[in-house]
Amino acid sequence: MNPSDTYITSLDEVLWGSVMIGLIICIHGAGVIATLRLDRRLKRNSVRRSFLDGMGVLVVATLFLVLVHLFEVIVWGEFLWHKGAFGNRSLSIYYALMQYTTVSSSYVLPDRLRLLGGLIPLSGMLTVAWSTSVLFVLARPFVARYSGDEDAVSRSD
């Protein structure tokens, strides 16, 4: 019999997984607020309010959210490394990135951390969905303005 066949999820895994998801959500919330503030500041400082200015603001906001996601991946990777899941930080962060983005990889967590292999992508799906909704909110006035829908422009601004 394979030792993995008799594995039972431990309370330790559940608690650490819950703490990590809570931490990732807090980090993401702070990142979302920072992104919205950055967007407002960039729009306020935009003199022309041209197509390129609007697109530039969306690109900057998107890149900022990507950096927030990368930081979250690093947090997961550092946690895995400190728990001894992999032999080095680089591999821990790589595994976290592959799980977070639901791409997966050929690497496997030790049995004692196996639940985290499902919780990392769950945190990624939740935060990517949140980022998508933020980008939708930020893009709506821009799309309305340049799509020719003047009524939508007045509703969005």
Q: Do residues 73 and 27 touch, judged by C-beta distance below 8 A?
A: no
Q: How far apart are CA 67 and CA 48, in angstroms?
A: 28
Can you spell out the DSSP letters for 53-64? HHHHHHHHHHHH
pLDDT in tens, 109-131: 999 999 999 999 999 999 999 99
Q: Calculate the average pLDDT of the chain.
A: 90
Alpha carbons within 13 A on the beta-carbon side of 22? 6
pLDDT in tens, 14-25: 999 999 999 999
Residue 1 has pLDDT above 60, yes or no: no
pTM as predicted: 0.88
- 130's tokens: 């949140």
Residue 154 has pLDDT above 80, yes or no: no
Alpha carbons within 13 A on the beta-carbon side of 2? 3
C-alpha of 7 from chain center: 30
